[in-house]
Structure 1
Amino acid sequence: MNRHAQEDFRFQVDLSGMIHILSNHLYSSSKVFLRELLQNAVDAITAMREREASHQGRVRVEIIGTGSGATLAMEDNGIGLTEEDIHEFLAMIGQSSKRKDGKLVGETSFIGRFGIGLLSCFMVSEEIVLLTRSAKGGPSLEWRGKPDGTYSIRKLESELSCGTKVYLRCKPGSELYFDPANVEAWLSDYGSLLPYPILFEAEGSCKTINMPHPDWMNNLALARGSREEVLKFGEQLLGESVRDFIPLTSSSGRTCGIAYILPYAVNLSAKRSHRVYLKYMLVSESAENIVPDWAFFVKCIIWTDELQPTASREHFYENEKLETVRSELGESLRRELMTLADLDPERLKGIIQLHALSMKALAVEDEAFFRMIHRWLPFESSYGRRDLGELLDENDELYYTITLDEYRQIMHVASAQSLPVINGGYVYDAGLLAGLPYLYPHKKIERLLPEDVSFSFIDLTAEERRQYYELTRDGDAALQRFRCRVQLKRFKPSTLPSLFTLSKESSDLRNLVAAEEVSTTELSSILGSLSSAYEDQLYSTLYLNLDNEVVARVFGSGNRAILVAAVEMLYVNALMMGHYPLNRKEMKVLNEGILRFIDLGLSAYGKGGETP
């Protein structure tokens, strides 16, 4: 024997193992066997219509019996199978009947491509019985397949009508998948948009699962004139109420749909969920990647014939085609919103008010869209929550902060002095506000830093500065260990005793100190060295309001011990008002200060609780 001789072998396929993979790894649920049967039926009818254009296709599903004795039958009047077709397509795992000249067709009018769908029936039945007769001629045939990989073919004496009928008998533990209510619901889910009637018979009743396509599905320009019908259509398929809708289409027109605007605000991190149909068969009821992420204020119903499904046909491949379609649907949505700005601004305003966050996300990406809708975008301001257009109309000067902490520090002072300050600390807001000066070059629109707020403070008179000089130095010395300076001013509102401000650099230093307190010894040493480099040059500022009754009494008392204790407590109070976390030294000041003032209060009374 030639030692170099090569011997070839054929792979052996364990069909029961394949079925286990299908049920546990490929498909999300065993109920997909219904979709696979529907898919085969619809593809058979499609093939028949290619042969005879006038053919009227239909699918009939019937549940016979109940419980473990139930049988499901699905019949179509499609093109049927010859014996050769059966050997080639039903007995070859991975083979697809959607082929021409032995090659898989890249662009076909069929739904299925992978030739494994019929195996899903073994997840709920121990045997598949198929009766068929081909429109191409030949006898009526019976095919029986078993999960051990064996099958038989028998020629029938009776002549069946063209088409295929599949019988599945419930196997133990699969009663759920033969329950009439469940089967009806799943057929409706998968087949509600299919173009051929689906009849369902069970328990003596017969009903049509799906309805003919409305005219506007084939011509989305008609959707605007069928508002109530489109809204009802969406509520039926999505299972929830909707507020409005926007038609969507790709540039090729091969992917279309309706974006339904939700009647409630959606969290930015909320999971996206859209219903997508491939050639009108449901592929996914929770697709997340069919429209851009910024479109989280809509739920879409999409139908397509150009995207490539995965083997499970429950998702689409994340490829260049999907990326293109996603971008085009996003552009379609953006374009429709801009059309609303011209044709129905009040309708657009209602959408923006409800879904402001999503509108801002889109405006950040698209300058033209921002120009179109910016006046309706709501912002938090020292005048309350207002539309940006109102703030622009009422003020020639506008200020904004870029963080929430900055806004909280100066909000009370700005509001009391009618200073128009917009909070840019929420997501997208700062970026949008930074673009306003380019749209309104004749207006003063600037970022306002906490340390800049002093421009609205009233300086003390020369006499007051002399009067309070020593006391101000004492208060300033008390806060040196916190790297904070004290300034005595007058400002509104008089009810606000103090205001703490810090620059970005002193904010960085404060964060370093906080990190140093909770870090390991080695890291603490590094952070300590970094903070010492800042120490001599970076200070925050505590403004004390001499118009405030408490501050005036403290500085008018002449009691330096009380003044130092009061300044420390006002410092800690200002930090808490500005939502700054207290470090260890500041917590110690707070605790000791409370006890000190309790002691002072008790000392002011003699024995028996009477004032001495």
Structure 2
Amino acid sequence: MRALQPGSDCFSTEVNLNGLIEVLSKHLYSTPIVAVRELVQNGHDAIVRRRIEQPNAPQDNQIRVTADVAHSIITISDTGAGLTESEIHGFLATVGVGYTRMLRQQDDDTGLIGMFGLGFLSAFVLAKDVSVITTSWQTPEQGWKYHSTDGQRYSVTPCEATAPGTRVILKLKDEYSHLASNTLLERVLSRYCILLHEPVYVGDASEPVNKLLPPWRDAAPEGVTLHRALVQRKNLAFAAQFESSFEPICTMPVTPLGSSDAVGILWIQDGATYGTSDNRNLSLFLRGMLLDDEARELLPPWAGFIGGVIESSTLTPTASREDLQRDEIWHAVRDALTESLIAGLSDLAQNQPELWRRVLLRHNEALLGAALCDDRLFDLLKDRLQVPTSKGALLAKDLRVNNSINILLSQDGGFEEMLFHILQRPVARGDRYAVVPFLRRWASTYHCRIIEVGTRTGNEQLFSLADLPDEQVTYLETHLCDGEQLIISRFEPAVLPLVVTLDREAELKQILEQDDADKRMSTAALMLARQFTSQIKQTKTSSLYLNLNNPCVMQLVAALQHQRQPIAALKVLKSLKVILCAGGNKHQQWDLHQALDDFTQVIPTLINNGE
């Protein structure tokens, strides 16, 4: 630091320009090529400035970027306002001070882009030698040449006047010499400048890289309404320029809303998605210049099948101009995009049924989750989305039987799945994405019951409890059960003698009470979990429901009441349990071979006894 006056306590801060340039090159920009974007942006602002200050300025302005491969030089030329000698000293050679910023403070609706006064300094990220040749429209008879090799020391000398405008000549550092390629520059600037309002040319090309006119700027003549199909076709052609992974199915407009000035289009991707798929992509242009082509956070999290392009003039960039500040405008734009999506989906459902069916086919599972995020989406989708079930994908209303919807929570259906198969009733796959919360909300809306099979409360709704004497229950449990809790009950269909179900709560309690749970879980988490499971009285992880409605079971109980011991019949019933359950109940360690052997041995006995 340097004292301003002897003996004074007031000091001024000095700037280490070398250090600042190192920050720019290594930390501020994600890639050094961004410096070219910054200099093209300066050329754009110079053209806008000239149009503001010189009423009779030519309208056929342009920016041209040219590479000299042999000499590792990139030149950025513009037909803008140019610079006077004093402006070179006051703005070009002064870090953090920009003429553009001053003009924007006076009127921010001019279309000017620059803001921080750092754009020109980025030239030294790429170049070891920078020259600027400029002629101001204010002094067209005098040209000036700026020259510097490090950004700290520079010279300004008179030169021959040219047409008003500026040429920035970058003699590239050795490590960046490969950037002196018109092919590379065209690819980069086609990405950054595709929506820029002023034409940008590369090399000796006769067509600008930004000749593409975005649909929201290509308005129909006043009083003319374009047909929906024509608008959709134009929008899809534009979207295809940005969507690299999927074909866009249809587009939805983005229009200003509240504090958001964002305009553009969103589209639905044609690739099939799962519930957790996230293929969001959003290209964001600020005043025509690409700021971020991965601005996905502006789209709602549920929109994993959406792409888009938007532009804004009011969003606030970070100093690198590669990201946005999360301020009120950012949140307003994000809200506006959500509203555009919901309005677009609603319009699609009401007015474009063929496209809507295609969207539902591709993104049904993702939309199940989306429907839970917004009341309007739920109202739109609740009777249109299909739910995975034991009988394939069905609408929620087709799952409703006796004012109940059955949900199988486990992937291993076991006997429960067989139960519903025999009853010819579909059961929802509760292990699939968003199925349980979607059906709970649907059931609440339409006032019907949810039966979550595999939970104690759910099973109590499926099976009516019945009673037998304790000694009979003990006897049956001894001969039928392999660690399950025997529950005497009545249920349909009567042809099914028994059902084995897993108790998920008891299973969780057993896992948490194992000694090695202390090694796998944090103490705090384990304590909370055990507080929950301490309320669970059930200790066996599966239950065998014996059906007193079944004729064979009724005869078995009658034999017990007459003090008979139907050992052969019990063996058949137990073998039947194992044979039917072994494929679906993977948690049970039943011996299928032994069950088949018992079944094979008991049949001859029954035949010989005439039973």
TM-score by length of 1: 0.80
1:142 corresponds to which residue? 145
2:347 corresponds to which residue? 339
The answer to whether structure 1 residue 245 and structure 2 residue 247 are counterparts is no
Q: Retained in 2: the 8 A contact 1:71–1:168?
A: yes
Take 2:515 and 2:432, find their aligned partners in 1: how far apart are those partners? 28
Q: Could you tell me how far 1:466 is from its partner in structure 2?
A: 13
User: Which of the numbers 48, 63, 75 marks the counterpart of 1:59?
Assistant: 63
Take 1:271 and 1:17, find their aligned partners in 2: how far apart are those partners? 39
The answer to whether structure 1 residue 152 and structure 2 residue 155 are counterparts is yes
Provide closer, same or farther for how the CA distance between residues 477 and 433 of structure 1 changes in structure 2, counting only shifts above 3 A: closer
User: Which of the numbers 356, 361, 365 marks the counterpart of 2:373?
Assistant: 365
User: Which of the numbers 402, 421, 427 marks the counterpart of 2:427?
Assistant: 421
Q: Could you tell me how far 1:271 is from its partner in structure 2?
A: 6.0
Take 1:229 and 1:81, find their aligned partners in 2: how far apart are those partners? 41
**Superposition map of 1:281-430 within 5 A:** 281-388=289-396, 391=399, 397-401=403-407, 403-404=409-410, 410-430=416-436
Q: Could you tell me how far 1:81 is from its partner in structure 2?
A: 1.1
1:117 corresponds to which residue? 119
Q: Retained in 1: the 8 A contact 2:399–2:406?
A: no
Provide closer, same or farther for how the CA distance between residues 11 and 598 of structure 1 changes in structure 2, counting only shifts above 3 A: same
Show CA shifts across 1:425-450 (max 9, x none).
Answer: 43433332223245435xx4433443
Q: CA RMSD of the aligned region, Å?
A: 4.5
Deviates more, 1:84-93 or 1:521-530: 521-530
Take 1:148 and 1:574, find their aligned partners in 2: how far apart are those partners? 79
**Superposition map of 1:422-501 within 5 A:** 422-437=428-443, 439-441=445-447, 444-450=448-454, 452=458, 471-475=475-479, 479=483, 484-485=485-486, 487=488, 498-501=499-502
1:262 corresponds to which residue? 269
User: Which of the numbers 230, 233, 236 marks the counterpart of 2:235?
Assistant: 230
SS at 2:147's partner residue? strand
Q: Could you tell me how far 1:166 is from its partner in structure 2?
A: 0.9
Report which of the two has the higher share of helix: 1
Provide closer, same or farther for how the CA distance between residues 402 and 469 of structure 1 changes in structure 2, counting only shifts above 3 A: closer
Q: Which amino acid in structure 1 is aligned with residue 269 of structure 2?
A: L
1:96 corresponds to which residue? 98
Q: Could you tell me how far 1:28 is from its partner in structure 2?
A: 0.3
Q: Retained in 2: the 8 A contact 1:474–1:564?
A: no
Take 1:473 and 1:58, find their aligned partners in 2: how far apart are those partners? 90
Q: Could you tell me how far 1:573 is from its partner in structure 2?
A: 8.7
Q: Retained in 1: the 8 A contact 2:287–2:311?
A: yes
Deviates more, 1:430-439 or 1:559-568: 559-568
Provide closer, same or farther for how the CA distance between residues 487 and 265 of structure 1 changes in structure 2, counting only shifts above 3 A: same
Provide closer, same or farther for how the CA distance between residues 27 and 566 of structure 1 changes in structure 2, counting only shifts above 3 A: farther
1:609 corresponds to which residue? none
Q: Retained in 1: the 8 A contact 2:182–2:202?
A: no
Take 1:137 and 1:37, find their aligned partners in 2: how far apart are those partners? 23
Q: Retained in 2: the 8 A contact 1:475–1:486?
A: no
Q: Which amino acid in structure 1 is aligned with residue 64 of structure 2?
A: R
Unaligned runs of 5+ in 1: 581-585, 605-612
Unaligned runs of 5+ in 2: 603-611
Take 1:532 and 1:160, find their aligned partners in 2: how far apart are those partners? 87
Q: Which amino acid in structure 2 is aligned with residue 37 of structure 1?
A: L
Provide closer, same or farther for how the CA distance between residues 169 and 119 of structure 1 changes in structure 2, counting only shifts above 3 A: same
Q: Could you tell me how far 1:155 is from its partner in structure 2?
A: 0.9
Provide closer, same or farther for how the CA distance between residues 37 and 404 of structure 1 changes in structure 2, counting only shifts above 3 A: farther
Show CA shifts across 1:99-156 (max 9, x none).
Answer: 3389686665211111111222222210111111112226211111221511110111
Take 2:45 and 2:380, find their aligned partners in 1: how far apart are those partners? 46
Show CA shifts across 1:315-364 (max 9, x none).
Answer: 11111110111001111210121122221233223212212244233321
Provide closer, same or farther for how the CA distance between residues 295 and 115 of structure 1 changes in structure 2, counting only shifts above 3 A: same
2:198 corresponds to which residue? 196
1:610 corresponds to which residue? none
Q: Retained in 2: the 8 A contact 1:474–1:560?
A: no
Provide closer, same or farther for how the CA distance between residues 106 and 229 of structure 1 changes in structure 2, counting only shifts above 3 A: closer
Take 1:527 and 1:355, find their aligned partners in 2: how far apart are those partners? 36
Q: Could you tell me how far 1:475 is from its partner in structure 2?
A: 3.4
Provide closer, same or farther for how the CA distance between residues 358 and 457 of structure 1 changes in structure 2, counting only shifts above 3 A: closer
Q: Could you tell me how far 1:198 is from its partner in structure 2?
A: 1.4
Take 1:226 and 1:105, find their aligned partners in 2: how far apart are those partners? 34
Q: Could you tell me how far 1:7 is from its partner in structure 2?
A: 5.1
Take 2:196 and 2:449, find their aligned partners in 1: how far apart are those partners? 56
SS at 1:577's partner residue? coil
**Superposition map of 1:212-231 within 5 A:** 212-214=212-214, 216-219=216-219, 224=228, 225-231=230-236
SS at 2:323's partner residue? coil
Take 1:375 and 1:416, find their aligned partners in 2: how far apart are those partners? 27
Take 2:368 and 2:328, find their aligned partners in 1: how far apart are those partners? 27
1:208 corresponds to which residue? 208
Take 2:178 and 2:123, find their aligned partners in 1: how far apart are those partners? 14
Provide closer, same or farther for how the CA distance between residues 449 and 42 of structure 1 changes in structure 2, counting only shifts above 3 A: same
Deviates more, 1:445-454 or 1:347-356: 445-454
Show CA shifts across 1:534-581 (max 9, x none).
Answer: 557887422368999x999x999979699699959957995983455x
Take 1:378 and 1:403, find their aligned partners in 2: how far apart are those partners? 17
Deviates more, 1:563-572 or 1:129-138: 563-572
Q: Which amino acid in structure 1 is aligned with residue 303 of structure 2?
A: A
Q: Retained in 1: the 8 A contact 2:317–2:323?
A: yes
Q: Could you tell me how far 1:71 is from its partner in structure 2?
A: 1.5
